[in-house]
Amino acid sequence: MATERTIPLAEGFAPPSREAWLALVERTLKGKPFESLVSRTSDGLEVQPLYTGEDCEGRLTPRGRADPDQPWDVRSLVAHPDPAEANRQILEDLQGGASSVLLRIGEGGCAIASARDMLRALDSVVLEAATVALDAGFAGPQAAGWLDAAAKASPTARLALHLDPLSAFAEAGASPGPIEAHVAAAAETAAPLVHAYPQASLFIATGRVAHEAGGSEAQELGVMAAAAVAYARALAGQGLSPTEAFARIVFGLSVDDDYFTSIAKLRAGRRIAERLASACGSGGVPAVIEARASRRMLTRLDAWTNLLRLTAAGFAGAAGGADAVVLHPFTEAAGAPTPLARRQARNTQLILMQESHLGRVQDPAAGAWFIESITDELAREGWAVFQAIERQGGLVQALTSGFLAANVDGARAALHAAAEHRGVLGVTRFPNPDERPLQIDAVAAAASSLDARLPGEDSRCRPLAPMRVAKPFEDEDVAP
């Protein structure tokens, strides 16, 4: 029987020093400074051309789920205005490989205005087998009540209420009644469901509203942490302990085509969530993270290039340890999703999971010096943003005072400047001269009849309005 023999190829060679490497690099730069090789993230963090073990210590950051056969939830976004058609799409997605559903309700989503409408949308959906998450804005408490009715108090129903009035307020710039009352009403609705549904999550604390408005990675992480604290305080006001509160809060982050940074951001987000829970006396509760593909990276022109962007985002979500990943259809910026776009959003994840086996390793980035270093720096910067928000009096005050919007303004300007320099694939770089418009079905938007108004004066803030990096170029008709 043959035995393996290790050949020590490096034996007799001294390890190269950083000084020797720098000397070689300077010869190739032909007079340019070494600093020309150093790039920066949107937060101004330096990205060096070379990292070594001296730059950081490796740290395993595993995802909360530990199922190698289903390492993350393939979460399908459904937003068709007709509840019956939404139900058809939900069943098609679940039968086609999706493991959970994100149902958008109200403006830009499904026209659900009663428990009966919810039952129509979820007809034949086994809530004990497939998680149903909601995205209902200010109408979250009403939608949660209708989902409760659909679940029929089944203790094994896998519900994700995703209550999140703060994101709705930040994006809209106003709330129908005091925003503090909306947060309190959401907690009052959610708290009684804790014992009825042991597997249900109640709130989603997300910084995506900052990301979609052009914010930096640290700003997104800071808003996520501040939202989690605000919602945990609201649940504590309903009698939940810190452990119970954090166990029922999902953390939400965006992933885009910059997959190294997205991976580091997800890992940093998990560390921030764990530190928050520990600081509140709730150690040992693994954070649950939902990653959604960035809408700001998508293009209307040459929308086929979005398939590349979404694949990179899906890879980042999987490698970064997200517990659930939502990929938008590649036609999102052009209009209603086509059947092909919906199928691609689902199947991209299935290929990453079942053929690329990305979930077979708990934390693929562990020990990678570059990603470990950026993870650590993003966690520190995100925590600093969170502390700055708390010094303002919390997320509500940071929004109503304009503090957060002013900070995001700077990051958005830098993002536009970077796009001017690098260009946008399919729009300003390599535009397709023979592009044909996508065949998008005209779908009437849902006419929302939901009344989410609460007594009292409306709260107002400078809105964190969503943006798309490619839109200014598309409006100028850069591409033919």
Q: pLDDT of 241-287, one tens digit each?
A: 999 999 999 999 999 999 999 999 999 999 999 999 888 887 777 89
| CA gap 109, 319 in Å, rounded | 30
| CA gap 89, 79 in Å, rounded | 9
Could you tell me the two tokens for 454?
């609460």
Q: Where in 69-200 does DSSP place strands (E)?
A: 73-78, 100-104, 131-135, 159-163, 174-175
| CA gap 434, 333 in Å, rounded | 19
3-class SS of residue 236:
helix
- Alpha carbon 391 to its chain centroid, in Å, reads 25
Sign of CA dihedral 176, 181, 182, 183: positive
pLDDT (0 to 100) of residue 37: 86
pLDDT confidence of 479, banded at 50, 70, 90?
Answer: very low
Mean pLDDT of 93-100: 96
- The secondary element (H helix, E strand) that includes residue 140 is helix 140-151
pLDDT (0 to 100) of residue 71: 92
pLDDT confidence of 480, banded at 50, 70, 90?
Answer: very low
| pTM beyond 0.75, yes or no | yes
Q: Residue 39: beta bridge partners?
A: 47
Strand 131-135 and strand 100-104: the pairing is: parallel
Task: Say whether pLDDT at 447 is over 70.
Answer: no
Half-sphere exposure at residue 311, Cβ-oriented, CA atoms within 13 angstroms: 11
Residue 23 CB partners (closer than 8 Å, separation 6+): none
Q: What is the pLDDT of residues 338-360, one digit of tens each?
A: 899 999 999 999 999 999 999 88
pLDDT confidence of 229, banded at 50, 70, 90?
Answer: very high
Q: What is the pLDDT of residues 174-194, one digit of tens each?
A: 999 999 999 999 999 999 999
Mean pLDDT of 423-427: 90
Q: Which domains does the chain have, with CATH numbers?
A: 73-382 (3.20.20.240)
Q: What is the pLDDT of residues 111-169, one digit of tens each?
A: 999 999 999 999 999 999 999 999 999 999 999 999 999 999 899 999 999 999 999 99
3-class SS of residue 396:
helix
Q: Which of 285, 282, 188, 189 is nearest to 242 (CA)?
A: 282
Task: Say whether pLDDT at 441 is over 70.
Answer: no
Q: What is the pLDDT of residues 208-228, one digit of tens each?
A: 999 999 999 999 999 999 999
Could you tell me the two tokens for 94?
């679940």
Residue 247 one-letter amino acid:
A
| CA gap 150, 116 in Å, rounded | 9
Half-sphere exposure at residue 235, Cβ-oriented, CA atoms within 13 angstroms: 29
- The secondary element (H helix, E strand) that includes residue 206 is strand 201-206
pLDDT (0 to 100) of residue 3: 64
Could you tell me the two tokens for 361?
């390793």
Task: Say whether pLDDT at 446 is over 60.
Answer: no
Task: Say whether pLDDT at 442 is over 50.
Answer: yes
Q: Can you give the C-alpha Rg of the chain in angstroms? A: 23
| CA gap 187, 181 in Å, rounded | 10
Cβ atoms of 87 and 118 within 8 Å: the answer is no
Q: Annotate 194-204 with b (16+ C-beta within 10 A) or e (fewer).
A: beebeebbbbb
| CA gap 267, 476 in Å, rounded | 38
Residue whose structure tokens are 């008709």: 477
pLDDT (0 to 100) of residue 443: 61
3-class SS of residue 364:
coil
Query: Which one-letter DSSP state was computed for residue 444?
Result: P
| CA gap 125, 86 in Å, rounded | 12
| CA gap 430, 433 in Å, rounded | 9
- Alpha carbon 132 to its chain centroid, in Å, reads 17
Residue 410 one-letter amino acid:
G
| CA gap 385, 397 in Å, rounded | 14
| CA gap 174, 326 in Å, rounded | 27
Task: Say whether pLDDT at 2 is over 60.
Answer: no
- Alpha carbon 366 to its chain centroid, in Å, reads 21
| CA gap 124, 205 in Å, rounded | 30
Residue 54 CB partners (closer than 8 Å, separation 6+): none
| Number of helical H runs and strand E runs in the chain | 17, 12
Task: Say whether pLDDT at 405 is over 90.
Answer: yes
pLDDT (0 to 100) of residue 52: 81
What are the backbone dihedrals phi and psi of residue 382, each rounded to the nearest 5 degrees, phi first?
-65, -40
Half-sphere exposure at residue 147, Cβ-oriented, CA atoms within 13 angstroms: 35
pLDDT (0 to 100) of residue 291: 98
Strand 174-175 and strand 459-460: the pairing is: antiparallel
Cβ atoms of 71 and 63 within 8 Å: the answer is yes
Cβ atoms of 284 and 410 within 8 Å: the answer is no
CB-neighbour burial class of residue 472 (10 A; exposed 0-12, middle 13-18, buried 19+): middle
Work out the mean pLDDT of the chain and round it to a whole number: 91
Residue 264 one-letter amino acid:
A
Q: Which of 125, 112, 124, 126 is nearest to 83 (CA)?
A: 112
| CA gap 268, 264 in Å, rounded | 6
Q: What is the pLDDT of residues 322-343, one digit of tens each?
A: 999 999 999 999 888 889 999 9
